[in-house]
Structure 1
Amino acid sequence: MRGRDLINAFLPDEVILEIFRYLDSKPSRDACSLVCSRWLSLERLSRTTLRIGASGSPDLFVKLLARRFVNVKSIHIDERLSISLPVQLGRRRGDDQLTLSSLKLHYMTEISGSEEGQFESYCLSDAGLAALAEGFSKLEKLSLIWCSNITSLGLMSLAQKCTYLKSLDLQGCYVGDQGLAAVGKCCKQLEDLNLRFCEGLTDTGLVELALGCGKSLKSLGVAACVKITNESLEAVGSHCKSLETLSLDSEFIHNKGVLAVAKGCPLLKALKLQCINATDEALIAVGTGCLSLELLALYSFGQFTDRGLRAVGNGCKKLKNLTLSDCYFLTDKGLEAIAIGCKELTHLEVNGCHNISTMGLESIGRSCQNLTELALLYCQRIGNCALLEVGRGCKFLQALHLVDCSSIGDDAICSIARGCQNLKKLHIRRCYEIGNKGIIAVGEYCKSLTELSIRFCDRVGNEALIAIGQGCSLQHLNVSGCHQIGDAGIIAIARGSPQLNCLDVSVLQNLGDAAMVELGKGCPLLKDIVLSHCRQLTDVGLAHLVRNCTMLESCHMVYCQGITSIGVATVVSSCPNIKKVMVEKRKVSSRTKRRAGSVISYLCVDL
């Protein structure tokens, strides 16, 4: 610092720590830590969360982090992620000989036979988990995503040290019953547990956990655990009286297990079921016993009918969020029962339910006036009249998603635009009856719209985007595959949406450099852009785009025949924040590869 130090000389540590807590971004905190050694130490003390990708020598890495960040309470480790160091980091005075630069922070995806013995050093092991437990005894939240090398031994050491643990995510970890039983015995404050794809577990482990910390458990997720059956759910129903969220995906759980939870967990608020062997009997129990239910998601149900959903409508008066996916025997009568009984419904998704038609959605529009989000996916029998009713009755609708709804056209979108003027998100894909008329109405009436996606709607052209540009200030726009849209439409967006940060204009054959010039002038906040398959774009337009869009982080430009290695080099050199450039391999010069090889991605190899 130059001149007199008016901060360090007068402010105590507690005040500076409190200031750090108000910084909501990691880059800001990192910048503060570089001011002086005192601020560096204080910033480390204030850090409560760490996110770690796959790393080489994980034991040493965890020990180093534990020594530097002593107050961490939340750790997320995901072996699907990789980490690269932007700078060479050496040791500071007083540190051990360990340096971050000595740790290979990348994930080994391929190994040869001679390297097979070294593979374990690139994954978190039981030793690393033990080091984590030893160094972060105040831990409250831990996510171990696809850490396939840890076993019950490591989980037992964690449970014994981290007794304050409240949230544990073991997705994809091959842990056994002994480790889970230890968690139940030692972690009496555990509230959230995710066991998705934990194939090594059986009923024994989950029953022991329910016995040990069932009083505190509030959320449980189980998927693809073939040895977990109704016996586990019966234990959950008997001992987990405070359970609020349950997610089940299993072929081995039947009505008996769901009945036990429905009867034993009266505080249940969220239930997600993908259990093909559950029937109406299970849903009737939910409607009778789970009167506090707010979220219900039913996936791939082949055995339940309107009878089960009618029980939910009659009993679950607090239901706000309903997802029905591939429920083939559900008809308009079941949805009508929900509409009549669940007046507080705010979110509805209907996906691939081929026996639900216009009449079912009309009842939602008439009765559910608080609806804020509606998603209709692959609903061929739902027509314009359904959305006409939604437009009249659901004035608070903020998000509408339509995918492959061939019977919905411009009249429906016009009704939504006129009646739902608070609309913020409109996502449409492959709805070929929707054209300029409907999107123009959205631009005229929905002034709060910030996200628009009209992918592969080949009747939408420049006139629609001009209306959107004049009426709305977008942050996200996706017009991929709308071949009638060209420079005029994108120019209108560029001039009317200065906050635009995400844009997909792929497969627009009429888009040229003029649009890129205007985007460069009008959208300086642009972070992600997809230009793939735009044949008329050239290096000239790309240069104009990146000249002012210096915040660009991602650029996809595959199969743009007018863009050469010069354009690729321009993007890399002009955008200091660039993280990903997707392009053909032949367009990357050796110099560009040396300069930014880590951010270059190739969609395919040269043919």
Structure 2
Amino acid sequence: MRGFDRINAVLPDELILEIFRHVESKPSRDACSLVCKRWLSLERLSRDTIRIGASASPGNLVKLLSSRFPNIRYVFIDERLSISLPVQCRKRRRISRGSTSSGRFCHGSEQSVFGDDGMGTGCLSDSGLATVGDSFVKLEKLSLIWCSSITDVGLRSLAEKCKSLRSLDLQGCYIGDKGLAAVGECCNFLEKLNLRFCEGLTDTGLVKLAIGCGGTLKLLGVAACAKITDISFEAVGSHCRSLESLSLDSETIHNKGLLAMAKGCSALKVLKLQCLNITDDALQAVGIFCLSLESLALYSFQKFTDRSMFAIGKGCKKLRNLTLSDCYFLSNKGLDSVAVGCSELMHIEVNGCHNIGTDGLKSIGKYCPRLSELALLYCQRIESDGLSEIGKGCKFLQALHLVDCSAIGDDSICSIARGCKNLRKLHIRRCYEVGNKGIIAIGQNCKFLTDLSLRFCDRIGDEALISIGQGCSLHHLNVSGCHQIGDAGIIAIARGCPQLSYLDVSVLQNLGDGALMELGEGCPLLKDVVISHCRQITDIGLNHLVRKCTVMESCHMVYCPGITEAGVATMVTTCTRIKKILVEKWKVSARTKRRAGSIINYLCVDL
């Protein structure tokens, strides 16, 4: 019945609040708040997270937001964020008719606000940080990303007021030892701490933090802190017995620090290291003492060998995720020992480890039956049949990434297709021995495949995509640089993959308007399209595509000589949800620029 309220008269506040807490999408929450004043008030009460930019006066914005959202527990402040969607944030002045003046606006939970003088300082100051502590009394998580004006004074003030703080991210903040020591002294419930690029810190501050928060600290990240040495990690090993995750990128840490940490932090589950001066002696200690380790990532290690991997394989039986990047002295024997000892492995990435070849990969296939994701990047020693054992033994494989593996060919892909029928994601880039045969096998066997990327694989043509279109229902497809693919292959995808939402066909010289017309008819859910460097596509095909694909959000179309000013204008007027268009500047008319200047970009990237 018109005019009758079927919701507000029945639902209590508590139930509406609970519903709002389960709405994760911010646009959806914003829409709910516009229903009525009651919903606006309740939605504000339900919010526990705000994101603030620092491109104007974030201190003023903190005061405003604290009055509107009293139950905030997580504050994210990032000086890299800019102003975008407008919502009025201060009293509007009355403007006479004909006046050209306009008020200043901000986005209430995403961005920043101008100061009273309309100029703004451009960064969060110590006083602004003190306001955070005063305003958000329930604060548990705080992220200060690249807030370069924060000093020890502001951090101490915050620490004294927010004693229930559990997570603190200081990435890129030039704070010193006194501020960090204050956090250790006051925030005795701190569990997570990120100190990446905090260049002003020394051992003094981190040692005091470890002493103060050692009983609760579970996650620690340190990178590019040149003044932090082994002394700090000896303190971490002595006091942080509950540490579960450590991310360390340092040229000043040696074996002594990592040995102390490994011996003291036996509960460690996640370890990510990029330390040029660490050798086998320290990494062996990880295998001996960190028996609960589940995820291990080693980057750019030049002083450790298979001896470390023997210890990891022998001791870390719970290991599930393994990343080895640019570990030049690691060979098949080391990978074999991990595969034999760590049968729970589910995710493996091998990147630029030039001594690992086919034999190491075969060990993974034989001894790691639960493997669900495998990434092989720049592995030149893996032969054409290198994935044969993976196909035989890893029946649960769902994602495979191959980049610049020059010897891997159709035999390997056929093995995966026959054995890994649960495959959902296949990404291949610059593997020039992979051709139609392997991809046809994927289409015939891997019926659950939804994400396919075949970038710059110049032996793959229309036959492969026809098989994929007939056998799979793709959501994402990238065939950029596969110059043998033309209209026939893309038409097969259009007719067989109605759920397609992302398509990159850039640098396909044989692709024409016919394919775009078929895509418009068969793939109405397309949101993101890349057609750059397609010289045969014209306004005709583009117009048909955009009129059918009404939910399109982005389109890259640089270096397409057949697309003109008229085509760009049609896209702007037809696609009501478009958020980004990448095109040459001279193809944008003055009228189009006035209408959609904020979403048009002129820089060609990622091709």
When normalised by structure 2's length, the TM-score is 0.94
For the pair 1:101 / 2:120, whether they are aligned, the reply is no
Secondary structure of the residue that 1:385 maps to in structure 2? coil
Q: Match of 1:125, as an amino acid?
A: S
Once the two structures are TM-superposed, the CA of residue 99 in structure 1 deviates from its matched residue by 7.4
How far is the alpha carbon of 1:415 from its aligned partner? 0.4
Contact 2:398 2:420 in 1 (8 A): yes
The within-5 A match list for 1:421-500 is 421-500=421-500
- Show CA shifts across 1:500-551 (max 9, x none): 1111111011111111112222222222111111111111211111112222
Distance 1:99-1:167 versus aligned 2 partners, 3 A rule? farther
Q: 1:87 to 1:591 in 2, by over 3 A?
A: farther
Deviations 1:220-276 (A, max 9, x none): 010000001101101100000000000110000000010011000010001111001
Give, in angstroms, the shift of residue 78 of structure 1: 2.0
| 8 Å CA contact 2:301, 2:326 repeated in 1 | yes
**Is the contact between residue 362 and residue 385 of structure 1 (CA under 8 Å) also seen in structure 2?**
no
Greater Cα shift, 180-189 or 407-416:
180-189
Give the conservation status (yes or no) of the 8 Å contact 1:120–1:149: no
- In structure 2, C-alpha distance between the alignment counterparts of 1:119 and 1:370, rounded to whole Å: 57
- The equivalent of 1:176 in structure 2 is 176
Larger mean CA deviation between 179-188 and 473-482 belongs to 179-188
1:425, CA displacement in angstroms? 0.6
| Post-superposition offset of 1:2 | 4.5
Alignment partner, residue 124 of structure 1: 124
State the Cα distance separating 1:384 from its structure 2 match. Answer: 2.6
- In the TM superposition, residue 439 of structure 1 has moved relative to its aligned partner by 0.5
Shift of 1:107: 9.3
SS at 1:384 equivalent: coil
* Distance of aligned partners of 1:516 and 1:440 in 2 relative to their CA distance in 1, 3 Å threshold: same
How well do the aligned residues superpose, as a CA RMSD in angstroms?
Answer: 2.2
1:86-110 Cα deviation digits (max 9, x unpaired): 56677599xxxx97617999899xx
Tell me which amino acid in the other structure corresponds to 1:417. Answer: A
- Counting only pairs closer than 5 Å after superposition, residues 207-226 of structure 1 correspond to structure 2 as 207-226=207-226
SS of the aligned residue for 2:80 comes to strand
- Distance between the aligned counterparts of 2:574 and 2:289, measured in 1? 61
Partner of 2:586: 586
In 2, Cα distance between equivalents of 1:560 and 1:536: 8
The answer for the alignment partner of 2:551 in structure 1 is 551
What residue is the counterpart of 1:522 in the other structure?
522
Q: Which residue type is aligned with residue 229 of structure 1?
A: T
Which residue type is aligned with residue 40 of structure 1? L
Deviant stretches of 4+, over 3 Å: 86-93, 102-108
1:260-339 map, 5 Å: 260-339=260-339
8 Å CA contact 2:83–2:107 kept in 1: the answer is no
Give the distance between the partners of 1:592 and 1:154, measured in 2 at CA. 47
Whole-Å Cα distance in 2 between the matches of residues 277 and 447 of structure 1? 47
SS at match of 1:386: coil
**Which secondary structure state, in structure 1, belongs to the residue aligned with residue 428 of structure 2?**
strand
The one-letter code of the counterpart of 1:550 is T
The amino acid that maps onto 2:157 is S
Q: Which residue of 2 aligns with 1:508?
A: 508
Deviations 1:482-517 (A, max 9, x none): 001111111111222222111111101111111111
CA distance in 1, matches of 2:13, 2:27: 21
- SS at structure 2 position matched to 1:144: strand
State the partner residue of 1:40. 40
Which whole-Å deviations, capped at 9, do the CAs of 1:269-297 have from their partners, x for residues lacking one? Answer: 01111001000001110010000011111
Aligned match of 1:259: 259
Mapped to 1, the partners of 2:10 and 2:308 lie a distance apart of 67
Residue of structure 1 in register with 2:400 after alignment: 400
User: Which residue of the partner structure matches residue 136 of structure 1?
Assistant: 136
Amino acid at match of 2:214: G
Distance change >3 Å, CA 100–CA 162, structure 1 → 2: farther
Moved more, 283-292 or 594-603: 594-603
1:348-367 to structure 2, matched below 5 A, reads: 348-367=348-367
Map of 1:232 onto structure 2: 232
Do 2:486 and 2:508's aligned partners in 1 also have CA atoms closer than 8 Å? yes
Q: Deviations over 1:388-439 (max 9, x none)?
A: 0110011111110000001100010000011000001100000000000100
CA distance in structure 1 between the aligned counterparts of 2:300 and 2:141, rounded to whole angstroms: 32
Query: What letter is aligned with 2:568?
Result: V
In the alignment, the residues of structure 2 paired with residue 551 and residue 189 of structure 1 have an alpha-carbon distance, to the nearest angstrom, of 46
Secondary structure of 1:507's aligned partner: coil
Larger mean CA deviation between 575-584 and 375-384 belongs to 575-584
Deviations 1:5-50 (A, max 9, x none): 2322232211111122232322221111111111100011111111
Alignment partners' CA distance in 2, 1:294 and 1:316: 8
**1:294–1:319 Cα contact (<8 Å) kept:** yes
Q: How far, CA to CA, are the matches of 1:332 and 1:102 in structure 2? A: 56
Pick closer, same or farther for the CA change 1:158–1:376 going to 2, 3 Å. same
Q: State the distance in 2 between where 1:467 and 1:86 align.
A: 48
Measured after TM superposition, the shift of residue 51 of structure 1 is 2.1
* Equivalent residues of 2:318, 2:342 under 8 A apart: yes
**Counterpart in 2 of 1:111?**
none
Tell which deviates more after alignment, 499-508 or 403-412: 499-508
- CA shift, 1:556, in A, is 0.9
Change (3 A) 1:379 1:209: same
Q: 1:595 — aligned with what? A: 595
**Paired AA for residue 27 in structure 1:** P
Report if aligned partners of 1:89, 1:99 keep a CA contact under 8 Å in 2.
no
| Residue equivalent to 2:96 | none
Structure 2 counterpart of 1:197, one-letter code: F
Question: Aligned partners of 2:104, 2:26: CA distance in 1, in Å?
Answer: 18
With 480-489 and 14-23 compared, the bigger mean Cα shift is at 14-23
Letter in 1 for 2:427: H
The size of the alignment, in residue pairs, is: 593
User: Is the Cα–Cα contact under 8 Å of residues 402 and 428 in structure 1 kept in the other structure?
Assistant: yes
5+ residue gaps, structure 2, are 94-101
Q: Distance in 2 between matches of 1:146 and 1:514?
A: 49
Greater Cα offset, 444-453 or 519-528: 519-528
- Tell me if structure 1 keeps the 8 A contact 2:92–2:103: no
Q: Which moved more, 1:78-87 or 1:129-138?
A: 78-87
Listed one character per residue, the Cα deviations across residues 157-193 of structure 1 (whole Å, up to 9, x for unaligned) are: 2212222211111111111111111111111111111
In 2: Cα distance, 1:558 partner to 1:218 partner: 48
Amino acid across the alignment from 1:59: G
> Aligned in 2, Cα 1:572/1:485: closer, same or farther, shift over 3 Å?
same
Shift of 1:571: 1.7
For 1:506, the aligned partner's letter is: S
1:509–1:106 distance in 2 versus 1, CA, 3 Å: farther
Q: Is the 8 A contact 1:242 1:267 kept in 2?
A: yes
1:377 aligns with 2:413: no
Between the aligned partners of 1:184 and 1:50, the Cα distance in structure 2 is 25
Q: What's the counterpart of residue 30 of structure 2?
A: 30
Name the CA distance, whole Å, in 1 between partners of 2:34 and 2:302: 59
Matching residue of 1:114: none
CA contact (8 A) 1:57 1:103 kept: no
Alignment partner, residue 115 of structure 1: none
CA distance in 2, matches of 1:165, 1:337: 42
Partner of 1:453, secondary structure, is strand
Aligned to 2:98: none
One-letter amino acid matched to 1:280: D
Shift of the 285–126 alpha-carbon distance from structure 1 to 2, 3 Å rule, reads: same
Name the CA distance, whole Å, in 2 between partners of 1:534 and 1:345: 42
1:55 Cα offset (Å): 3.0
